[in-house]
Structure 1
């Protein structure tokens, strides 16, 4: 506690000494923000590409980057000084016990965690998961054919099954009845809800973490969730350890971690949380992105679906679903996927905030060591009526004024970029191709036969953001397309049966 006080005092003196060089910004900030990205966009529009916002975190100022260029210059080009994390009192310490690498500061634990995640999800390794994605994608297409109204549940099941197969070696056939998936969704909802900048006073005044839970209901809820998380992650790890001991484990990311545990120097609890990293992040991001794609189809599909289906018919034909091998020739489909990631990124705050580990000067502005750096993806100074309202895949077929090679920042920046980006991109590309090959996605009709309007800005609150429920019409392009979907789904389920043996069900 004394160390925190001394650090805050040093920061205050440093800020006073460099007052004339500090970035511009509001003199006070809003707290209890449900949708901070909206507030940050207002701050950037008023104060510029680099703005200082006081009172959001402990230990140092918060700097909001209001353009992709500023984020690239600092988080990518100067990544060595901007790859740490700020202190997360509620989400990192109270909820996670310092065991989530996502929120770990730059140091040995984080480097070990990062190296481990990359070994399981780097680009070359992620291609080995494509058979799973291909098979589950065929099942998703069948689910959309049989029950189009339940499309959100089908997207969640697909995303959950892929990530659970990759991580733990077993399928998910129904999200609602799968206790592990439901517990994980609850854990992620809690994590993303507590990580909203400015939500808890304890982030600004860390001494509040020591208030007994009996006098702090918010703390009691967080600690209760932490115990649930530990039981879930350790239960999953112990289940895999038991199967390994009996020689019946399906090779997966967790079996890889157990093989490398001694070399990694991780305890069982550290290993359990590490295995849970892709499990936690992969479901909401993939299903949320595909939900945004459906929303774009409803609102803008008349502009891009005909061109996409022409490309699919020309490259793929009518007698099979698209495959990963087709992707090099499906340039417009890839552009639609990239535009979806740009248009409505799930990690709307640009991922977990960064922290600077050295004093820096950028465009004449002083950024002190220990600053919290937020690069929200909604801080473009263009109003929502242009950049975030329009869905235009063609922008990815043209020269783009956006730094880097992706044309978007949906997976974050610099050394903290999402380790699962290759797996997620593959899922988004393949499923968009197959959905548009098999179906016409259009606005739902009311009882009078009129299109039901949707709100393209109606998204959930929290650290991650996905579309709120909306209606749409999903119909097969023809009876022949429906037959192909049914045929390939039957074959996929036959191949997936090996992941549903009694050992996996036990």
Structure 2
């Protein structure tokens, strides 16, 4: 680059001055000249790119628009900018690097789906990737070169074995049983509905991945893993405070952790070794040969996978599946409380098709179009991955409607803006399942046949999409069938209101805690829930098991092992 060459020439001049005995003031002035010229040239580059890219606010030298970012929920600001500039694509600069935000369903479909081959890579992510799991994790992998693309395809193929569209049909039996247990738990302890959802979601992916279920919401694996997932989600949301400020100043990430409190402990890659240990333990235990970790270790020699890769594949399945699915179910409860009128058609349809003496099963889905629309609206109304997951990056310079999108640029879909566009979703904050019924007046054209973009796009679409949709449908259907879910009433008869906008700030957002009332619809429903719940627990007994590892103590024990045995402690080191 021209700026790099100028810096080099000025540095040579400065060095010559020092050699010739130049005064300190001359050296200092030369240094200031270097900095000034470098900033001017670099800012010229930024402005030149800005003139060719989608519109957006004027970036400042070096820091871009970082300090323009709001403290919370920046996706609302990106939506506002899109309206302000009357453009579905806007450019926001994080430091010296541009990020293109897509705020329109049709543009997202055109770029990320129809041009999936171009937008298949990830950009450089200092905080989430370089200080996290790095390039050994499928979520972060670059696909700029043929070798990188091939490695990513290997990981995608392996993950497809666990949660591919055909494979997940084999999980319906235990997924259905775990859903029955959720209803049974809510009957006995409705106040802890969040914990029941987290146990359910974690248990399903634990059976798939490790061949054992999670029996109690007190199991520390739930709270520990979900806490890690929440932290990871926070590390994907652009911000003007640490640690996300390292995306603006990536050189700060080079400092050792001991003298860099702004890194918040990032850079140790500690989670990978824990998930490898748990995967190795489960793979060696007898029974359930179809479990995913057993398949990974069987395929390890063929694909030459290292410990970090096995840890990433098993950890991604376990962590992401537990957090996102439980968050979706919490949103479902919130929608029931805030929009009780939408429950009446659901009850009418369920009672007509199912009745009170059994709960819904997967074969009922084709006969319940309103319930199917209800689940779609849950996924649309308050999507969990609100900024579409990790950013995409084009593998080559691309052009869209006259705008340049340079190779390697951060490109993110603003799912909030996409799902709240009045054109596709009139009155978007209103929970309205009828908008997904084709003949309804509120129905609008939308790219793709699903009607929502909750799970991302193209080659980077969420691997577990079908599993999540399948589990959400059966659980929502069962809970609507069996319960009245409504606002909580105080002893004096007053109602505890709910706030449909009170959500967390991370990439995977969920409602903040709220009280509600969950009661069986009738005595017959109660008896059916109890009967089916007990039978489901009997069926699930085959998946009983427990890991000896706890994330909270794993690294303390690993450190002691290293002290005692030296290299012998590497057994769990990724």
Is TM > 0.5 for Structure 1 vs Structure 2? yes
Instruction: Give the Cα–Cα distance (whole angstroms) in 1 for the partners of residues 379 and 71 of structure 2.
Output: 24
Partner secondary structure for residue 101 of structure 1: coil
Partner secondary structure for residue 399 of structure 2: strand
1:348 is displaced (CA, Å) by 0.4
Instruction: Give the Cα–Cα distance (whole angstroms) in 1 for the partners of residues 263 and 120 of structure 2.
Output: 29
Q: Please show how residues 262-277 of structure 1 align to structure 2 within 5 Å.
A: 262-277=301-316
Q: Please show how residues 97-116 of structure 1 align to structure 2 within 5 Å.
A: 97-106=134-143, 107=148, 108-116=150-158
The answer for the alignment partner of 1:173 in structure 2 is: 215
Instruction: Give the Cα–Cα distance (whole angstroms) in 1 for the partners of residues 507 and 519 of structure 2.
Output: 33
The one of 182, 189, 195 equivalent to 2:223 is 182
> Which is higher, the Rg of structure 1 or of structure 2?
2
Instruction: Give the Cα–Cα distance (whole angstroms) in 2 for the partners of residues 99 and 296 of structure 1.
Output: 39
Partner secondary structure for residue 500 of structure 2: coil
Instruction: Give the Cα–Cα distance (whole angstroms) in 1 for the partners of residues 421 and 362 of structure 2.
Output: 35
Q: Please show how residues 89-488 of structure 1 align to structure 2 within 5 Å.
A: 89-106=126-143, 107=148, 108-176=150-218, 178-199=219-240, 200-223=244-267, 226-227=269-270, 229-243=271-285, 247-248=286-287, 250-302=289-341, 304-380=342-418, 382=421, 387-398=427-438, 399-488=443-532
- 49-58 or 184-193, which deviates more: 49-58
The one of 25, 41, 58 equivalent to 1:27 is 58
Cα gap change, 1:23 to 1:122, in 2 (>3 Å)? same
Partner secondary structure for residue 358 of structure 2: coil
1:270 is displaced (CA, Å) by 1.1
1:395 is displaced (CA, Å) by 0.9
Instruction: Give the Cα–Cα distance (whole angstroms) in 1 for the partners of residues 361 and 288 of structure 2.
Output: 29
The answer for the alignment partner of 2:78 in structure 1 is: 40
Instruction: Give the Cα–Cα distance (whole angstroms) in 1 for the partners of residues 54 and 504 of structure 2.
Output: 31
Partner secondary structure for residue 71 of structure 1: helix
Partner secondary structure for residue 53 of structure 1: strand
Describe the superposition over 1:377-425 as per-residue Cα deviations: whole angstroms up to 9, x where unpaired. 1224747995431111011112432111110001011111101000000
8 Å CA contact 1:160–1:282 kept in 2: the answer is: yes
1:362 is displaced (CA, Å) by 1.2
1:109 is displaced (CA, Å) by 2.8
8 Å CA contact 1:167–1:278 kept in 2: the answer is: yes
Instruction: Give the Cα–Cα distance (whole angstroms) in 2 for the partners of residues 119 and 57 of structure 1.
Output: 40
- 60-69 or 204-213, which deviates more: 204-213
Identify unmatched segments of 5+ residues in structure 2. 6-37, 60-64, 551-574
The answer for the alignment partner of 1:61 in structure 2 is: 98
8 Å CA contact 2:90–2:102 kept in 1: the answer is: no
Partner secondary structure for residue 117 of structure 2: helix
1:347 is displaced (CA, Å) by 0.2
8 Å CA contact 1:145–1:475 kept in 2: the answer is: yes
Instruction: Give the Cα–Cα distance (whole angstroms) in 1 for the partners of residues 98 and 158 of structure 2.
Output: 32
Instruction: Give the Cα–Cα distance (whole angstroms) in 1 for the partners of residues 329 and 112 of structure 2.
Output: 27
The one of 544, 552, 555 equivalent to 1:500 is 544
8 Å CA contact 2:137–2:308 kept in 1: the answer is: no
Describe the superposition over 1:166-206 as per-residue Cα deviations: whole angstroms up to 9, x where unpaired. 11111111233x23333312221221112212352221232
The one of 110, 121, 125 equivalent to 1:84 is 121
1:11 is displaced (CA, Å) by 9.2
Cα gap change, 1:268 to 1:68, in 2 (>3 Å)? same
1:31 is displaced (CA, Å) by 4.2
Partner secondary structure for residue 292 of structure 1: helix
Partner secondary structure for residue 135 of structure 2: coil
Instruction: Give the Cα–Cα distance (whole angstroms) in 2 for the partners of residues 5 and 416 of structure 1.
Output: 34
1:448 is displaced (CA, Å) by 2.5
- 309-318 or 33-42, which deviates more: 33-42
Please provide the CA RMSD for this pair: 2.6
Instruction: Give the Cα–Cα distance (whole angstroms) in 2 for the partners of residues 166 and 431 of structure 1.
Output: 18
Instruction: Give the Cα–Cα distance (whole angstroms) in 1 for the partners of residues 400 and 453 of structure 2.
Output: 21
Cα gap change, 1:117 to 1:234, in 2 (>3 Å)? same
Partner secondary structure for residue 55 of structure 1: strand
- 178-187 or 346-355, which deviates more: 178-187
Q: Number of aligned pairs?
A: 495
- 67-76 or 231-240, which deviates more: 231-240
1:16 is displaced (CA, Å) by 5.2
